[in-house]
Amino acid sequence: MLSIARLKSAPELFYSLQGEGTRCGTPAVFLRLAGCNLKCKWCDTKHSWRNGIECTAAETAEKIASYSCDSLVITGGEPLLQQAELEALLRLLPANTHIEVETNGTIIPSPALAQRINQWNVSPKLHHSGNPGCDTLPAESLRFFAGLQNAWFKFVVQQEADWADIAALGLPRQRIILMPCATTRAELETARPAVVEMCLQHGVRLGDRLHLSLWDNKKGV
């Protein structure tokens, strides 16, 4: 059984536009799973930390198919806490479904998932995430993702000093994306200029968080 995040008493599974990463603006079905092994203080989906709604792989696959969309984004929470359940779901989806997984990069995926997922959107958490006593940047798992050509690294940044922590990880610079730390449209507008300057200075991509620009902090869109 999959544990899916609960939003307004229903499983959080919806159709929208990808708001982050290299496929920003692409229509996709979103599946938000419940549970996370981190507790970031600025997380904009804290409702996904709570117990979710249990759904079978077959029920979930049927709902995904109802949108007639060949792109699926699996997010959370932390989806890789439910690897066996995800494998069962993906076996039921059409082979041409483009599947992205949003992960915090602390857990290495199973061989079956590593082979099936089309794109990994890895979002390692820096010190300002507020996870005391927790290794948010485990070297082994980040090396694993860095070795995948279909993994991108999205960092929420607050200040120029964050770059030193990012650079120390030794990740492929051409696959690094910097995103403003914001949970509302107003916060995004305020934080964006400094992050633009960071991207220009260090030669990396800006992730502009389209969903906040379009819908502010509304959930389920």
Quickly state the pLDDT bin for 17 (edges 50, 70, 90): very high
CB atoms within 10 A of CB 123: 21
Q: Strands, E, within 5-136: which ranges?
A: 6-7, 10-11, 13-17, 27-32, 53-55, 71-75, 98-103, 119-122
pTM value is 0.96
Q: What is the mean pLDDT of residues 172-195?
A: 95
Residue 221 included in any domain: no
Residues 73, 25 contacting (CB under 8 angstroms): no
Residue 172 included in any domain: yes
DSSP 8-state symbol, 5: P
Longest dimension (CA), the chain: 48
Residue 220 included in any domain: no
On the question of pLDDT at 132 being above 90, the answer is no
Provide the number of structural domains found in the chain: 1
CATH number of the domain enclosing 30: 3.20.20.70
pLDDT tens column, 150-183: 999 999 999 999 999 999 999 999 999 999 999 9
Element (H or E) spanning 146, and its range? helix 139-146
Residue 64 included in any domain: yes
Domain that holds residue 41: 2-215
Residue 12 included in any domain: yes
Residues 12, 6 contacting (CB under 8 angstroms): yes
* The pLDDT value given to residue 89: 98
Q: Which residues contact 95 (CB under 8 A, 6 or more apart)?
A: none
Residue 194 included in any domain: yes
